[in-house]
Chains A and B, each alone.
Chain A
Amino acid sequence: MEFAELIKTPRVDNVVLHRPFYPAVEGTLCLTGHHLILSSRQDNTEELWLLHSNIDAIDKRFVGPLGTIIIKCKDFRIIQLDIPGMEECLNIASSIEALSTLDSITLMYPFFYRPMFEVIEDGWHSFLPEQEFELYSSATSDWRLSYVNKEFAVCPSYPPIVIVPKSIDDEALRKVATFRHGGRFPVLSYYHKKNGMVIMRSGQPLTGTNGRRCKEDEKLINATLRAGKRGYIIDTRSLNVAQQARAKGGGFEQEAHYPQWRRIHKSIERYHILQESLVKLVEACNDQTHNMDRWLSKLESSNWLTHIKEILTTACLVAQCIDREGASILIHGTEGTDSTLQVTSLAQIILEPRSRTIRGFEALIEREWLQAGHPFQQRCAQSAYCSSKQKWESPVFLLFLDCVWQILRQFPCSFEFNENFLIMLFEHAYASQFGTFLGNNESERCKLKLQQKTMSLWSWVNRPSELSKVTNPLFEANSLVIWPSVAPQSLQLWEGIFLRWNRSSKYLDEAYEEMVNIIEYNKELQAKVNLLRRQLAELETKDGVQESP
């Protein structure tokens, strides 16, 4: 298929662009296969380059011959184009609609994008599972890498390489895979070096209504327990939901078969409930005319912060079991690709200082989200404005980022990255020139040959010029476990995401700049003092040498 077929009118003059915080601009609108571009003929005026894949929904309006297209983006921005001529306007609108909803992944921009920067480090090889495993293997020999899923045959949503207990062979893993939803047998997610406790994750056990069991499964997870120790199974579903799952062949671990494990049910929502929550929240934030009561009641009824609290509470519970109680954990919900990953990754943010560094956080995203098979393609297909409600669209990853932001706010010095890093990840998960978030799992990414055909986001981010934008100037390595408060009074609306286009952040940005200046100045002064002291010391010794005969 040629993009040209979809572009009925490639170019319209005298289009007026309205967008938040900028004066209206008149210029020429051009459509390309992947971008909507508006450029004014004046110099120095910033052009608009909008990826079609960033467009979530559009509205059309006509007043006489003047058409207006309102473009609602996946990053929640809303822009307006006034287009003279009804036909042109209709053509543009239908082209945008077609180009922003391309079916085939291989037509997406990452397959066409040619980087204009020098690649210092190929991000596709930045976080190899073997390297990640080395971080653990120095501390423990109880675990091994398994290549049982090399061909994606045992579990289609797992990566080719996973970490499992050393005492369990690949044959047993194959058996366990048949007993777990989606073949997602329990694998290592996190090893707590301080006390050797672990977080494992998996899909739900397929016990069904007749209470099926699987000896290998029991053996596998028991292999992670020390003699006489008990572990916890955190089911991210309520007991009720977990019980209902049995009718569909799923279920949960029976006490009788897992006597060394205590099961705790939490209730983290998934799918359309989260999607509806996001839609309501964005709608509330976008209406500046709400009076106070209406705003507060909209904020409340969106339930967004309730979800945040529930996820954070569960992550804290996991961290507490590991760090305070010295107990290992197995986490799953139904598939083990959504709420499970929110919890395992947030628990690591709490427990593990490395995951609060830029590289460590990237590694965490790579391990716990991309490799672990969070279906980004499905979940991030649409955002808050789309009316086609598909069950699989859900802001699971955004909720995770929001939770990280909440912890970052409470520990503003313990993270190497700043809020911009989280916002950037949100943007790229929904629309990007990079291949990183394409596909639903490693198997799909392999088939798409993303490593050969597209550029990795990490190749771009991990360059000094980009890193400087996302580095937190306040960072001081904190080797401790950080316990966030989950009280409603301590949680806040993430303004950087949800109010980003609704209020100017000029004064806040300037204040941030000033803070950076103070910190830079401090470094400069310290360097200068050190230099002077050294020079003085040298002089003094020389002096001493000269004076003494």
Chain B
Amino acid sequence: MEHIRTTKVEQVKLLDRFSTNNKSLTGTLYLTATHLLFIDSQQKETWILHHHIGSVEKLALTTSGCPLVIQCKNFRIVHFIVPRERDCHDIYNSLLQLSKQAKYEDLYAFSYNPKQNDSERLRGWQLIDLAEEYKRMGVPNSNWQLSDANREYKICETYPRELYVPRIASKPIIVGSSKFRSKGRFPVLSYYHQNKEAAICRCSQPLSGFSARCLEDEHLLQAISKANPANRYMYVVDTRPKLNAIANRAAGKGYENEDNYSNIRFQFVGIENIHVMRSSLQKLLEVNGTKGLSVNDFYSGLESSGWLRHIKAVMDAAIFLAKAIMVENASVLVHCSDGWDRTSQVCSLGSLLLDSYYRTVKGFMVLIEKDWISFGHKFSERCGHLDGDPKEVSPVFTQFLECVWHLTEQFPQDFEFNEAFLLQIHEHIHSCQFGNFLGNCQKEREELKLKEKTYSLWPFLLDDQKKYLNPLYSSSSQKFAVLEPNTASFNFKFWRNMYHQFDRTLHPRESVCNIIMNMNEQNKQLEKEIEDLESIFQAFVLRNET
């Protein structure tokens, strides 16, 4: 609270950023320990979580007051006009402090109290059980086993404790391979396709430099191909552009030399790095924020931002994985540099194409827990939870959600969840309200004692499930009904409901999804009512007969 000097300012104007006639609402601005709150004269409330604030800007004083522009990580942009500069300055300073925390313990999740007792909280954390998930996939089995090599985080700090590896890969091989991989992230199982007996594996780049090799690593890859009885060769997919991978060789890293590994087929797929993605999104948001934007500026901005090109690249890579498994029965090993950004995108999206379970509400949570949280996607750095290096911030997970959204557009009946679910998850990777996305890897999360001190997001989403269900979902689809999206460029559209989710004036005024959702709900009630009425009817008839 020591950062808050002014808790309430009256006569503040909230400008509509797309209105051409400078429409505004007048109201009162409140500053609390966790939120900025604006209540307009109609008593409509706008809550902004401090953690959602990406940047605060104080513009030059105008005749009507001092403009304060706040950009949020959930793409809300608010433009206030505060009558007195003094107040504006106080709020500005407070928000600067409040929106950037130095320690995890100061984040909202550590003070958030949804009134649950300890056992409820623990049950919440146990809702998603990855051991259960691997069992569902069909491992361990005769070819794959649980390895205890990383039980104490000794081999790789950013991996989870429990890792699945080929049964024939001995511990020395694993240890040897991990020494040859960036950050010790050696090849492990990400997804096992029970029908095809083929696997998606993941790792980081090899420390091959210009000529180095590692027999253990070569053995491990061979073990992965041998774990697939249906196919002798496997694909190694380097998700980076070839040039980037070559440049890495100079730093003693690089990519697999096909000559040293038997039976691998090496493939680059050309997804750009986190820095390119960050500036791409920035450009996109700049274009979209323009008032009175022309169609041509919108499309040329969309093009020059490269955003949809990147989305398509991720999608294409995931389709490559799905095809390798479905068409060729081949296992795939995926890596990028460290194997926690692009690799997470491609592995999770590939699994989602292959396995309908991940297209359910629960399955999608499991997928995020597995390929993103447990395998060490650095959520705290990528989302800028703490005041840290801005160069580590990147919308990698947002891109994953966008790819999923594109799939829901092409396959409107194949997902149990709707768009609101994706938006809500996006909201919470930045909100720091729940513990799931705090920290950068499992080890760090354990040290933070998140399971004791914070709550898990998933049970709250499940409780609210009704809001997130796709009313057109047809659950009849087979477990291994693979999605084959069309990736001609014209299928990729700007995701207005994400990047303009708070700019309601740009949205359709009537939502088909909501109407059908309500109707489904109503249908259930009507069915129930018919049942009741019929039994009353029966009772009547019976009584009259006797």
Q: Which of A305, A521, A535 contacts B523 (CB 8 A)?
A: A521
Report the nearest A residue to B510, measured CB to CB.
Answer: A413
B493 at the interface (CB under 8 A from A): yes
Distance A290 CA – B536 CA, assembled complex (angstroms): 65
Distance A532 CA – B309 CA, assembled complex (angstroms): 57
Distance A66 CA – B25 CA, assembled complex (angstroms): 71
- Which B residues, 171 to 219, have Cβ-Cβ distances below 8 Å to chain A? none
Chain B interfacial positions (CB closer than 8 Å to A): 18, 288, 293-300, 302-303, 306, 308-309, 312, 410-414, 471-472, 474, 486, 488-494, 496, 500, 505-510, 512, 515-516, 519-520, 522-523, 526-527, 529-530, 533-534, 536-537, 540, 544
Report the nearest B residue to A293, measured CB to CB.
Answer: B303
Q: CB distance B488 to A489 under 8 Å?
A: no
Inter-chain contact count A-B, CB under 8 Å?
153
Q: CB distance A292 to B308 under 8 Å?
A: yes
Q: CB distance A293 to B412 under 8 Å?
A: no
Among A94-102, A146-154, A193-201, A505-513, the one that faces the other chain is A505-513
Q: CB distance A525 to B533 under 8 Å?
A: no
Q: Which of the four size classes fits the interface of chain A?
A: 35 or more
Report the nearest A residue to B488, measured CB to CB.
Answer: A288
Among A45-53, A240-248, A435-443, A490-498, the one that faces the other chain is A490-498
A57-78 to B contact mask, C-beta < 8 Å, 1/0 = 0000000000000000000000
Distance A490 CA – B509 CA, assembled complex (angstroms): 11
Q: CB distance A529 to B489 under 8 Å?
A: no
A305-329 to B contact mask, C-beta < 8 Å, 1/0 = 1101100000000000000000000
Between A503, A504, A511, A526, the greatest number of chain B beta carbons within 10 A of the residue's beta carbon is seen for: A511
Rounded to whole Å, the gap between the CB of B293 and the closest CB of chain A is 5
A119 at the interface (CB under 8 A from B): no
Q: Which of B493, B507, B533 contacts A492 (CB 8 A)?
A: B493
Q: CB distance B413 to A511 under 8 Å?
A: yes
Could you give 17 example pairs across A and B, Cβ below 8 Å? A292-B303, A292-B306, A295-B490, A296-B308, A303-B296, A409-B508, A410-B509, A410-B510, A411-B508, A488-B293, A489-B494, A491-B295, A507-B410, A507-B413, A515-B472, A518-B472, A518-B519
Q: CB distance B490 to A499 under 8 Å?
A: yes
Q: Which of B303, B492, B526 contacts A300 (CB 8 A)?
A: B303
Rounded to whole Å, the gap between the CB of B186 and the closest CB of chain A is 35
Residues in B neighbouring A299, C-beta threshold 8 A: 299
Report the nearest B residue to A528, measured CB to CB.
Answer: B530
Q: CB distance B490 to A493 under 8 Å?
A: yes
Residues in A neighbouring B298, C-beta threshold 8 A: 488-489
Distance A484 CA – B426 CA, assembled complex (angstroms): 28
Residues in B neighbouring A504, C-beta threshold 8 A: 486
A487 at the interface (CB under 8 A from B): yes
Q: CB distance B295 to A488 under 8 Å?
A: yes
Residues in A neighbouring B471, C-beta threshold 8 A: 518
Rounded to whole Å, the gap between the CB of B301 and the closest CB of chain A is 9
A279 at the interface (CB under 8 A from B): no
Top 7 A-B residue pairs of the complex, sorted by shortest distance between their CB atoms: A488-B298, A300-B299, A295-B489, A511-B412, A525-B526, A296-B303, A292-B309
Chain A interfacial positions (CB closer than 8 Å to B): 285, 288, 290-297, 299-300, 303, 305-306, 308-309, 409-414, 474, 482, 485, 487-493, 499, 502-504, 507-508, 510-511, 514-515, 518-519, 521-522, 525-526, 528-529, 532-533, 535-536, 539-540, 543
Besides A300-B295, A536-B537, 10 more A-B contacts (Cβ < 8 Å) are A292-B306, A295-B490, A300-B299, A409-B508, A489-B500, A490-B507, A493-B490, A503-B491, A518-B519, A522-B526
Distance A424 CA – B498 CA, assembled complex (angstroms): 33
Between B474, B488, B490, B515, the greatest number of chain A beta carbons within 10 A of the residue's beta carbon is seen for: B490
Chain A binding surface SS class: helix
Report the nearest A residue to B300, measured CB to CB.
Answer: A300
Q: CB distance B530 to A297 under 8 Å?
A: no
Distance A519 CA – B518 CA, assembled complex (angstroms): 11
Distance A485 CA – B519 CA, assembled complex (angstroms): 27
Distance A411 CA – B510 CA, assembled complex (angstroms): 5
Q: CB distance A529 to B529 under 8 Å?
A: yes
Residues in A neighbouring B413, C-beta threshold 8 A: 507, 510-511, 514
Rounded to whole Å, the gap between the CB of A191 and the closest CB of chain B is 25
Rounded to whole Å, the gap between the CB of A329 and the closest CB of chain B is 20
Between A411, A492, A529, the greatest number of chain B beta carbons within 10 A of the residue's beta carbon is seen for: A529
Q: CB distance A306 to B537 under 8 Å?
A: no
Q: CB distance A309 to B474 under 8 Å?
A: no
Q: CB distance B508 to A533 under 8 Å?
A: no
Known A-B contacts A511-B412, A515-B472; A485 and B505 likewise in contact (beta carbons under 8 Å) = yes
Q: CB distance A539 to B537 under 8 Å?
A: yes
Rounded to whole Å, the gap between the CB of A524 and the closest CB of chain B is 9
Residues in A neighbouring B522, C-beta threshold 8 A: 522
Residues in A neighbouring B507, C-beta threshold 8 A: 485, 490
Residues in B neighbouring A526, C-beta threshold 8 A: 526
Rounded to whole Å, the gap between the CB of A255 and the closest CB of chain B is 25
